[in-house]
A and B are shown apart, each in its own frame.
Chain A
Amino acid sequence: QQQVKQSPQSLIVQKGGISIINCAYENTAFDYFPWYQQFPGKGPALLIAIRPDVSEKKEGRFTISFNKSAKQFSLHIMDSQPGDSATYFCAAEKDNTDKLIFGTGTRLQVFP
């Protein structure tokens, strides 16, 4: 049972373009939504996170858009760079449980 659904599975973007990754969740008790970035052979690392009391959070070229009524959130990478090529995971945490439920991941490739 996949509680956090992520799409697309893979994404190819040209340098300078916008990368968009989408996630949808089912449980309205989720109250913390992070995005993790993973480079090959490494562990995931937190990229950016949002709580449902705001609709958008921006950190540099990375933005999370959050739609509470639709139970969806997305990661936008502006001016995508080859160094952004990695696998991105969305996640959700429920009700102060300290447990994250991850999406299935999106492999992003940015070509020069």
Chain B
Amino acid sequence: NAGVTQTPKFQVLKTGQSMTLQCAQDMNHNSMYWYRQDPGMGLRLIYYSASEGTTDKGEVPNGYNVSRLNKREFSLRLESAAPSQTSVYFCASSEGVRRGAPTQYFGPGTRLLVL
């Protein structure tokens, strides 16, 4: 099992460009998450999906959109990148607290630099 995979690993964008970060999990988890990690800020939730076809805003959703394409895949889109979106982005998945399995499994991250 690969667990949670993310592509790309690293990306450089110019201000105003768009891009989609891809995430896939092979653990048959219902819940999937996108976080950003910035120095001194910890991990902050951008968007969350409890199941295929549902998404919910997290703590810092502005400037992002998401798509839960199917149970395996959850993508994050930056429509018009800004330097403030320079960060490390992590995707995670879990079976969920309500199903007695709250552990979140994280991918290796995507390092994004917006110039």
Residues on A close to B: CB < 8 A? 6, 9, 32, 34, 41-46, 49, 89, 93, 96-105
Residues of A within 8 A of B40 (CB): 9, 104-105
Chain B residue nearest in CB terms to A6: B42
**Chain B residue total in the interface (Cβ 8 A):** 27
Residues of A within 8 A of B106 (CB): 43-45
Query: B109 contacts A43, CB within 8 Å?
Result: yes
Residues of B within 8 A of A89 (CB): 42-43
Query: A49 contacts B90, CB within 8 Å?
Result: no
Tally the A-B contacts, defined by beta carbons under 8 Å. Answer: 59
Q: Is B41 part of the binding interface, using a Cβ–Cβ cutoff of 8 Å?
A: yes
Q: How far is the CA of A79 from the CA of B42 in the complex (A)?
A: 26
Within 8 A of A (CB), among B1-20: 4
Residues of B within 8 A of A98 (CB): 31, 48, 50, 94, 96-98, 102
A–B Cβ pairs within 8 angstroms, 30 of them: A32-B97, A34-B102, A34-B103, A43-B4, A43-B92, A43-B106, A44-B43, A44-B90, A44-B106, A45-B105, A46-B103, A46-B104, A49-B103, A93-B97, A96-B97, A98-B48, A98-B96, A98-B97, A99-B33, A99-B45, A99-B48, A99-B58, A100-B43, A101-B59, A102-B42, A102-B43, A104-B40, A104-B42, A105-B40, A105-B42
Residues of B within 8 A of A34 (CB): 102-103
Q: How far is the CA of A79 from the CA of B35 in the complex (A)?
A: 32
